[in-house]
Amino acid sequence: YPSGNLAIIVTRERDQLICIVQEDELRTAKIRALFQSDGRSTCYYPNGDEWINMSIQGGQYLDQAGNRVRRWMWPNLSPGPHVPLSPIFISLNRHVGVRILAQDKIFVSFLAMGRQAKFNTGTKVQGGAASQLPPPTRLGEDELLLLAFRVRILQLFDRMRGCLNFPSSEQWNKMQPPTYLMTQAVKILELCMAADISDELRSSIRSIVNA
């Protein structure tokens, strides 16, 4: 961002790529969106509530009250006639936008100081490949909370190391958490989506890992 805060991270986790969009904030690295090359993606409202969620089957668009506004299935997984996906465009903030045109055409655009960068985070997953994927791991409430607090504690330890290494607050306040911590936070958010837990607990866990 023009402020110097990190906006977009692209990292590799084993055999897949992950694109993470962070909010333009100094002290926190709040996740606004994440896109994975296996077809799973999620965008969040500024308060952390889910905005758009996509999988290899399709996706859904929620309003800020949690009501589903739109739902769709990708054409390659929908036998027979299907309603085409109407293009979706959302602005995560004044610099980052997301445009969804098709399963393999999901664009993240970054615009600042008259210059633009565009990433295609979409992927084409065939029906056969989708059916072979294992079901997501489901954890209980206690396990999810423990994982979230573990990441939060590691984030605090990392910030303490930054304080010791860079006594000037202007320096360590701009430091971003290590990539492995951001990856772990992303995985916990994914597990929350797959778990059978209340929206209140899901929101609490998001607040812990994004604090």
* Strand order, beta sheet including 50-54: 8-13, 16-22, 31-36, 41-44, 50-54, 58-62, 68-73
Q: Does 72 have pLDDT greater than 80?
A: yes
The Cα–Cα gap between 160 and 106 comes to 38
Cβ neighbours for 173, distance < 8 A, ≥ 6 positions apart: 26, 27
What value does the mean pLDDT take over residues 118-141?
63
38: exposed, middle or buried (C-beta count within 10 Å: 0-12, 13-18, 19+)? middle
Q: 88 and 28 share a domain?
A: yes
211, 193, 204, 182: which is closest to 62 by C-alpha? 193
Per the confidence metrics, is the pTM higher than 0.75? no
Does 72 map to a domain?
yes
Per the model's pLDDT, the better-predicted residue between 153 and 128 turns out to be: 153
The Cα–Cα gap between 198 and 192 comes to 10
Q: 76 and 170 share a domain?
A: no
User: Could you tell me the pLDDT band of residue 96, with boundaries at 50, 70 and 90?
Assistant: very high
Does 126 map to a domain?
no
Q: 31 and 108 share a domain?
A: yes
Per the model's pLDDT, the better-predicted residue between 134 and 86 turns out to be: 86
Q: Does 78 have pLDDT greater than 70?
A: no
Q: 27 and 77 share a domain?
A: yes
CA-CA-CA-CA torsion for 46, 49, 52, 56, nearest 10 degrees?
A: 130
Domain that holds residue 176: 141-210
Q: 61 and 109 share a domain?
A: yes
pLDDT tens profile 51-71: 999 988 888 898 888 888 888
Structural domain ending residue among the three candidates 120, 149, 176 = 120
Q: Which of 14-28, 37-51, 73-87, 122-136 has the lowest mean pLDDT?
A: 122-136
Q: 16 and 113 share a domain?
A: yes
Residue type, 89: F
pLDDT tens profile 14-56: 778 889 999 998 777 788 999 988 888 999 998 888 899 998 8
Q: 109 and 149 share a domain?
A: no
**What DSSP letter does each residue of the chain carry, written as one string?**
-TTS---EEEEEETTEEEEEEE-S-SS---EEEEEETTS-EEEE-TTS-EEEEE-SSEEEEE-TTS-EEEEEE-GGGS-S--PPPPPEEEESSSSEEEEEEETTEEEEEEEETTEEEEEE------HHHHHHSPPPP---HHHHHHHHHHHHHHHHHHHHHHHHH--SHHHHTTPPPPHHHHHHHHHHHHHHHHS---HHHHHHHHHHHT-
pLDDT tens profile 187-211: 788 787 777 788 888 888 888 887 6
Name, of 50-59, 101-110, 148-157, the range with top average pLDDT: 101-110
